[in-house]
Amino acid sequence: MKTRILVKDGEYRLSSAGCMDAKIDAEELFCYLTSMDRVQLFLRAEEEVDPETERKYMELIARRASRVPLQHITGQQEFMGYKFRVTPDVLVPRQDTETLVTEAARIIQQRPKKKQGFMSRLRGSADTTVLDLCCGSGIIGISLAKICSDIRVVCSDISQKAVDLAADNAKDLRAKAEFVCGDLFGALSPKPYKEMKFDMIVSNPPYIKSKIIPMLQAEVKDHEPLEALDGGRDGLDYYRRIVAEAADYLKPSGWLLLEIGHDQGEDLRKLLKDSGRYTPAEVIKDLPGRDRVVKCQRK
Ligand code: GLN
């Protein structure tokens, strides 16, 4: 069978199964199987596919048609131009989260750099410290470590499997970051971190309302870790805890940047205001124009 016909058949099967991006996924799976890129796929569309590849491709399509996320099949997802490993132990990286990373990187890069002595430059001691809470696969902290030079990044997560995966991602991408496991700020109780104050805390915590979860698409509700999604009755459980404690771990004027659901901007603005410990929060929109990030500074 010709490549073009086979991939079209794959697309048809995926869209019949209710998969959202059937065409993209059918092409991605063929590229994954044959190690082609999309340009090669286009140029070689009229070539015959051997029966063994055809059989293997149809197996992949059947898995995806059973609503296993594409990224669980390929084991990877690109984020900010970097390739991250993904497993069912972590949330699949969403493009939405690039809004948070872009804004955080902008703030870090605009910070006036302290003058460092020759020896501390030699040791590579970073003058800006960043904490990524609920790091999952590590996309936020690791991307910041790649984009911004001279920062010290600490990533934490309650799941040891997530922390291990994030550490593997940092190694693959040659990013300098440290990883600790624990429940939010509880992860910072070991010695070197106990006394640390950060210039910035970033987080994409679980924020979906519990009762919404059964209504999410099958890929998310049946395959992604519930503990990375469920933000409690009103979706704000983790924000309440983060807002209550973050100021204790921030330097004066240190930044707090949180990803939020598109309808949580006002709730977050109020939570932050009521705590009395932060400057008025600004809500930042994602590319499609929905509220996606809140940012403020410790007073
Ligand atoms: N944005 C994710 C989703 O829509 C949820 C991310 C989260 O809860 N942190 O599935």
How far from 75 is each of 47, 85, 112, 165, CA to CA, in Å?
27, 6, 39, 12
**Ligand 1 pocket residue status of 10, Cβ below 6 Å:** no
Which pLDDT band holds residue 122 (cuts at 50, 70, 90)? low
65-116 pLDDT, tens digit each: 999 999 999 999 999 999 999 999 999 999 999 999 999 999 999 887 666 6
Q: Residue 219's CB: how many other CB atoms inside 10 A?
A: 19
**Ligand 1 pocket residue status of 49, Cβ below 6 Å:** no
* CA distance linking residue 213 with residue 67, whole number of Å: 16
**Ligand 1 pocket residue status of 204, Cβ below 6 Å:** yes
Q: Residue 200 pLDDT > 90, yes or no? A: yes
Give the nearest ligand 1 atom to 205 CA: 9
Q: Residue 123 pLDDT > 70, yes or no? A: no
Map tokens 């040659």 to a residue.
Answer: 174
**Residue 19 β-bridge partners:** none
**Ligand 1 pocket residue status of 220, Cβ below 6 Å:** yes
* CA distance linking residue 85 with residue 137, whole number of Å: 7
Whole-structure pTM value: 0.93
